[in-house]
C-alpha cells in the first residue's frame, strides 16, 4: 500500500469505507473533483489499476503540480485544471468523488449536479464533507471561518437529493484521539495549535453514496 499522506492517514477509514461500499473494480473510470494534493486520486488509482483512469480536477493551477507529484507513479491519473462548476471530461465515468470540496464552493448543489452529469447512467456520485462544528478540542467545538459552508456535511443527503441523484447510503465517521499521534498532528497542521494532551474529535465526515438513475 502506498503511503498516502497525513490527511489520508487520519481520514483513511471514511475513504476506505466508501470505496469498499462501491465495489469499484480494476479498469474503472473516475473523477476526483477538488483533488487538491491528490490523496483521494491516488487511492482511486490504486483501486482501478493501470487499466483504469482517474481524472484529478481542481480549479487551482497550483494543485496541478501537487496532485501530479503525488500521482507520479500512477500513469492512470490525468490532472486537469477546471472549476467543478464547469466539470467536463473526455468520457463518462463510473464514479465522481469529492472530499472537502463542497464546503468551499459557492453552490454545492450546482457542483453535485455537474458531478451527476459526468457519470454514466447508473454510475456513482460520492461526496465526503465535514460537520466542522461537531468536532471538539477538550469538549469545545471547532470552527473554520475560511470555509463557505463549514457544516455542509449536516445537509449533504438533502443536497445530493436536490441535485437529482438517488441517495443509496449515508453515514458519518470521525477520527478521535488524545495526546501525541496522527489526530493531534493533523489538527496542529490545520490550526497551528498543538492540542497537547487534550482530547480531540476531528470533524465528522459525512459520506453520501448516490447513483445517477
Ligand X SMILES: C[S@@+](CC[C@H](N)C(=O)[O-])C[C@H]1O[C@@H](n2cnc3c(N)ncnc32)[C@H](O)[C@@H]1O
Residue with smallest beta-carbon separation from ligand X? 36
**What are the backbone dihedrals phi and psi of residue 93, each rounded to the nearest 5 degrees, phi first?**
-110, 165
Nearer to ligand X, 70 or 165 (CB): 70
Nearer to ligand X, 37 or 123 (CB): 37
Of 125, 146, 150, the closest CA to residue 204 belongs to 150
Q: How far is the CB of 35 from ligand X (least distance, A)?
A: 6
Give, rounded to a whole angstrom, the gap between the first and last alpha carbons of the chain.
Answer: 34
Q: How far is the CB of 24 from ligand X (least distance, A)?
A: 17
Nearer to ligand X, 127 or 134 (CB): 127
Nearer to ligand X, 62 or 166 (CB): 62
Interatomic CA distance for residues 43 and 18, integer angstroms = 11
Residue bearing cell 462544528: 133
Q: How far is the CB of 56 from ligand X (least distance, A)?
A: 9
SS percent in the chain: helix, strand, coil, step 5: 35, 30, 35
Q: How far is the CB of 139 from ligand X (least distance, A)?
A: 25
H/E/C letters for each residue in 87-112?
A: CCCCCCEEEEEEECCCCCCCCHHHHH
Residue bearing cell 481524472: 55
Q: How far is the CB of 62 from ligand X (least distance, A)?
A: 8
Helical axes 39-48 vs 61-70, angle rounded to 10°:
50
Half-sphere exposure of 82 (CA within 13 A, CB side): 19
Instruction: List residues binding ligand X (CB under 6 A).
Output: 7, 34-37, 39-40, 58-60, 63, 83-85, 99-101, 104-105
Q: How far is the CB of 106 from ligand X (least distance, A)?
A: 7
Partners of 25 in beta bridges? none
Interatomic CA distance for residues 93 and 40, integer angstroms = 16
Nearer to ligand X, 99 or 212 (CB): 99
Nearer to ligand X, 171 or 199 (CB): 171
Amino acid at each position: 500500500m502506498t503511503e498516502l499522506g497525513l490527511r489520508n492517514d487520519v481520514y483513511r477509514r471514511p475513504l476506505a469505507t466508501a470505496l469498499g461500499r462501491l465495489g469499484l473494480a480494476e479498469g474503472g473510470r473516475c473523477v476526483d473533483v477538488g483533488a487538491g494534493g491528490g490523496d483521494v486520486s491516488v487511492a482511486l488509482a490504486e483501486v482501478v489499476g493501470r487499466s483504469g483512469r482517474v481524472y484529478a480536477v481542481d480549479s487551482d493551477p497550483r494543485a496541478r503540480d501537487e496532485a501530479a507529484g503525488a500521482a507520479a507513479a500512477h500513469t492512470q491519473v490525468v490532472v486537469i485544471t477546471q472549476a467543478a462548476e464547469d466539470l467536463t471530461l473526455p468520457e463518462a465515468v463510473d464514479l465522481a468523488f469529492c472530499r472537502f470540496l463542497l464546503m468551499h464552493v459557492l453552490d454545492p448543489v450546482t457542483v453535485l449536479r455537474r458531478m451527476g452529469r459526468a457519470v454514466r447512467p447508473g454510475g456513482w456520485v460520492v461526496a465526503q464533507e465535514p460537520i466542522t462544528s461537531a468536532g471538539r478540542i477538550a469538549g469545545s467545538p471547532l470552527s473554520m471561518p475560511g470555509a463557505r459552508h463549514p457544516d455542509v456535511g449536516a445537509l449533504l443527503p438533502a443536497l445530493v437529493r436536490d441535485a437529482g441523484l438517488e441517495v443509496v447510503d449515508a453515514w458519518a465517521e470521525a477520527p478521535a484521539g488524545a495526546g501525541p499521534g496522527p489526530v493531534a498532528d493533523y489538527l496542529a497542521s490545520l490550526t497551528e495549535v498543538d492540542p497537547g494532551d487534550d482530547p480531540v474529535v476531528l470533524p465528522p465526515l459525512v459520506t453520501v453514496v448516490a447513483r445517477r438513475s
